[in-house]
Structure 1
Amino acid sequence: MTSTNEEAAAEAAAPRRGRPRSEAAEQAIIGAVLRLLDQGYPLALLSIEGIAGEAGVGKATIYRRWPNKEELLLDVLRRVDEPEPPEFDGPVRDALVAALEFLRRSGLARRSQSSLALIAHEVQHLPELHRRYHEQVIEPRRERMRRLLARGVERGEIRGDVDLDLLGELVVGPMLSRTLLRPGAPLEDPTLSATIVDTLLQGLGPAGADIGADADPV
């Protein structure tokens, strides 16, 4: 069997005419993964050989960019997400709305492309890929939310007597429920993110109500 190093040497010596390279090659490979998913291939059964054939490149082209299939799939997961909004030093309320807008747009993108929905579902059944995705993608987002809320507490825009992780879950929970747990829930309303944030910041009780004042002692 020809080794990966031998394949790379053979490809390097071969004429390049008509073969995608650099960014074009990467886009061809990413697109091939998404097309194969659309065709019904589960993530666990995708192979480097099959991806290379679909992309029209040699296996060595893939291995020069990603050392194995798991790294390639992790990169696909990162690339298919909507771009996150830049961090800015404005009102915390506006930053929270932008964070939820990112989740709303990502949810709409998954609904419009079956391959994105399949990736989001199937990654949960690949423990190592799932762990690394959380480590490299989800946890940085959680840390970003913690920084945002901490800034709000420092400025007096957010209450400071509740754990920041819990506050973050209260903010993103409603949108995650609609995008992940309720695939039929409406996401098209462009005011949805602002409505969620403003409702949380204003509280659930009626204006002027002394929540808990009349509650019986435990």
Structure 2
Amino acid sequence: MSLADGENHGAPGAPGPAPARRRPADPAAPATDDGATPGSGAPTVPGPGAVPGREACAEGAARRGRPRSEAAERAIFDAVIGLMEGGVPLGDISIERIARTAGVGKATIYRRWSGKEDLLVELIRSVEPPDPELPGTSVRDDLVMLLEFMRRRGLAKRSSALLRNMFAQMQAHPRLWDQYRRTAIEPRRRLGLQVLERGVASGEVRADLDLELVHDLFVGPLLLRTVLQPDADLAPDFPARVADTVLDGVRPRN
């Protein structure tokens, strides 16, 4: 301690050393409900092997989330991954169990997510490729971009045991599947329909067609090859071939 902090070396009768000052806690780091600060020694649970996309968990959460402690979020996601790698079914993964495994308090989790379904959906979306940013140059370009996102998502699912495991179990949990459908599937479908509506307005798509059906014609081949035929070819040119084939049939007739 320096003299400026009140230490008087060798002076008779001088008061003892001033008590050490504590550094103030970082106000940006949310404390857990048991007083711990995420990232200050809370254990994470590594899985028995590398999980494709684990680094993307933290990156995806940072893209979509509120200001958060990256260390706490990584510990929570790693806890879920570790539990699933250990064979724990989704139905047995509770907020209490996640908090205990991650070494954080339940309040730390509830400050970030409204419940287990919200947490699991964000974990899935953080491992998936990010939603596409459409170029807007033409309806064809936008459709190819949307289909390319589906292709990359299919490839990610093929290479990630975590995604395969979660999707295999999700439909047996209606609340979880409904949350994923509302927050991921439906927004992507609305985006595709908006592109087709723009195509009608620009004269690139016939106005007398059922756009819901036309949309299904575009995404159907990608869904077939990523869900029903997971070993089927997903070549880089596949999205463009699908877009051109379907557009050939839906363009205005001369």
Alpha-carbon distance in 2 for matches of 1:15, 1:190? 41
Is 1:112 the counterpart of 2:159? The answer is yes
Is 1:125 the counterpart of 2:148? The answer is no
Q: What is the SS of the residue equivalent to 1:102?
A: helix
Compute the displacement of 1:22 (Å): 0.5
Alpha-carbon distance in 2 for matches of 1:15, 1:147? 42
Is 1:18 the counterpart of 2:65? The answer is no
Q: 1:147 aligns with which of 186, 194, 197?
A: 194
Distance change (3 Å), C-alpha of 1:40 and 1:85: same
Q: What is the SS of the residue equivalent to 2:108?
A: helix
How far does the alpha carbon of each residue in 1:19-75 deviate from its partner, in whole angstroms, 9 at most, with x for none?
487022112212322232233222111122332344343333223222322221122
Counterpart in 1 of 2:243? 197
List alignment gaps of at least 5 residues for structure 1.
1-6, 205-218
Q: What is the SS of the residue equivalent to 1:125?
A: coil
2:240 maps to amino acid: A
Counterpart in 1 of 2:6? none
Q: How does 1:26-175 map to 2 (within 5 A)?
A: 26-175=73-222
User: Contact 1:11–1:60 at 8 Å: present in 2 too?
Assistant: no
From the CA coordinates, give the structure whose radius of gyration is larger. Answer: 2
Q: What is the SS of the residue equivalent to 1:83?
A: coil
Alpha-carbon distance in 2 for matches of 1:38, 1:196? 36
2:241 maps to amino acid: T
Counterpart in 2 of 1:211? none
Distance change (3 Å), C-alpha of 1:150 and 1:28: same
TM-score scaled by length of structure 2:
0.70
Compute the displacement of 1:199 (Å): 1.5
Compute the displacement of 1:159 (Å): 1.8
- Which one is further off, 97-106 or 45-54? 45-54
Instruction: Name the Cα RMSD after superposition.
Output: 2.4
Counterpart in 2 of 1:216? none
Distance change (3 Å), C-alpha of 1:152 and 1:18: same
List alignment gaps of at least 5 residues for structure 2.
1-30, 44-67
Is 1:179 the counterpart of 2:226? The answer is yes
Flag the structure with higher helix content. 1
Equivalenced residues, count:
196
User: Contact 1:101–1:193 at 8 Å: present in 2 too?
Assistant: yes
Alpha-carbon distance in 1 for matches of 2:192, 2:99? 38
Identical-pair percentage: 49
Alpha-carbon distance in 2 for matches of 1:178, 1:74? 23
